[in-house]
Amino acid sequence: ILNVEQSPQSLHVQEGDSTNFTCSFPSSNFYALHWYRWETAKSPEALFVMTLNGDEKKKGRISATLNTKEGYSYLYIKGSQPEDSATYLCAFDNFNKFYFGSGTKLNVKP
C-alpha cells in the first residue's frame, strides 16, 4: 500500500488570504500526481494532472508545483475566496491505480 499524506488536515483563512497545502508521496516509480477539489454535495473535480519533475500548473488563482525526486507537491491559492471552500485532494497515480490522500479541508471566511 502506498502512503500519500496531505497537510494540513484543515485550514481556516480569511477572504483575500493566500494559502498553500502539501501532498507527500513515494518518490520512486513516479507516474503522475493529480489534484482534485471536492465541494460538499458535489463530485470531485479535477484541477491538475502533473507528470514531470518541476511541473508547474496554473488555473486562475490556483497553482501547483511538483517535485518527484523528493516526493512532494504544493497547491497554492492566491487571494482565497469563499467559493474556494472545499476539500482539496491529491492522488498518486500508480499506473491507473490511484492512491488518495485524506485531503485538506479549506474554509474561507468572508
Partner 1 sequence: KAGVTQTPRYLIKTRGQQVTLSCSPISGHRSVSWYQQTPGQGLQFLFEYFSETQRNKGNFPGRFSGRQFSNSRSEMNVSTLELGDSALYLCASRSDGNWEQYFGPGTRLTVT
32 binds partner 1 (CB under 8 A): yes
98 binds partner 1 (CB under 8 A): yes
> Which three cell numbers mark 97?
491505480
Where residue 34 falls (left for φ over 0; alpha for ψ -120 to 50; beta otherwise) is beta
> Which three cell numbers mark 107?
474554509
35 binds partner 1 (CB under 8 A): no
101 binds partner 1 (CB under 8 A): yes
Kindly tell me which residue out of 43, 60, 70, 83 binds partner 1, with binding defined by CB under 8 A.
Answer: 43
CB of residue 79 vs partner 1: minimum separation in angstroms? 26
Distance CA 48, CA 62 (A): 10
